[in-house]
């Protein structure tokens, strides 16, 4: 796991330390992976970049539309969100986005804007 331990006053970069290997290094942003031992830190993991997120969303919408736009029931959406998503270590602090796939999560958005509501979609970690 990586921990930010300071700021380099010359470069303005974050100084990170790997909790696994103990190495410290200067980086322009908080990394999610140690460049030396490659241990992953979920705490520092940001949602996928916009281009990858858009491609993932477009693929999900195409799959959903091709299947006839099937939707999960509101009870099932509520169950998934409140018992699985909210408790997941990959959900953002605001509770509306998955850091793993980048999808927006909600109990009240229409299916076109809500991966949980699309019956053709699933969690990238196979939690639902």
Q: In terms of pTM, does the model score above 0.95?
A: no
- Indicate whether 66 belongs to any domain: yes
pLDDT at 120 over 50: yes
Cβ–Cβ < 8 Å for 32, 40: yes
- Indicate whether 124 belongs to any domain: no
In sequence order, what are the residues at sequence separation of 6 or more whose Cβ sits closer than 8 angstroms to the Cβ of residue 13?
A: 7, 26, 27, 28
Indicate whether 58 and 108 sit together in one domain: yes
Q: How many domains does the chain have?
A: 2
- Indicate whether 63 belongs to any domain: yes
- Indicate whether 126 belongs to any domain: no
- Indicate whether 122 belongs to any domain: no
Q: Please calculate the CA angle 98-119-92 and round it to the nearest 5 degrees.
A: 10
pLDDT at 128 over 80: yes
- What are the angstrom distances between the C-alpha of 56 and each of 24, 80, 115? 34, 20, 11
pLDDT for 8: 73
Indicate whether 40 and 72 sit together in one domain: no
- Indicate whether 118 belongs to any domain: no
Indicate whether 54 and 26 sit together in one domain: no
Token readout for 40 is 């992953």
pLDDT at 76 over 90: yes
Indicate whether 70 and 41 sit together in one domain: no
Phi then psi dihedrals of residue 66, to 5 deg: -65, -30
Indicate whether 37 and 65 sit together in one domain: no
pLDDT band at 62 (very low <50, low <70, confident <90, very high): very high
Cβ–Cβ < 8 Å for 120, 111: no
pLDDT for 77: 94
- Indicate whether 23 belongs to any domain: yes
- Indicate whether 95 belongs to any domain: yes
Indicate whether 30 and 9 sit together in one domain: yes
For the stretch 10-42, pLDDT in tens is: 777 777 777 766 777 776 655 556 666 654 444
Indicate whether 84 and 108 sit together in one domain: yes
pLDDT for 65: 95
């Amino acid at each position: 796991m990586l921990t930010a331990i300071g700021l380099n006053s010359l470069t303005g970069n974050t100084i990170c330390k790997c909790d696994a290997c103990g190495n410290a290094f200067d980086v322009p942003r908080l990394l999610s992976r140690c460049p030396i031992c490659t241990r992953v830190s979920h705490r520092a993991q940001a949602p996928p970049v916009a281009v990858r997120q858009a491609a993932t969303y477009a693929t999900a919408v195409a799959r959903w539309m091709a299947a006839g736009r099937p939707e999960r029931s509101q009870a099932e959406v509520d169950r998934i969100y409140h018992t699985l998503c909210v408790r997941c270590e990959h959900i953002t602090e605001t509770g509306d986005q998955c850091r793993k796939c980048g999808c927006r999560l909600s109990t009240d958005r229409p299916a076109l804007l809500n991966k949980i509501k699309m019956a053709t979609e699933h969690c990238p970690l196979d939690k639902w």
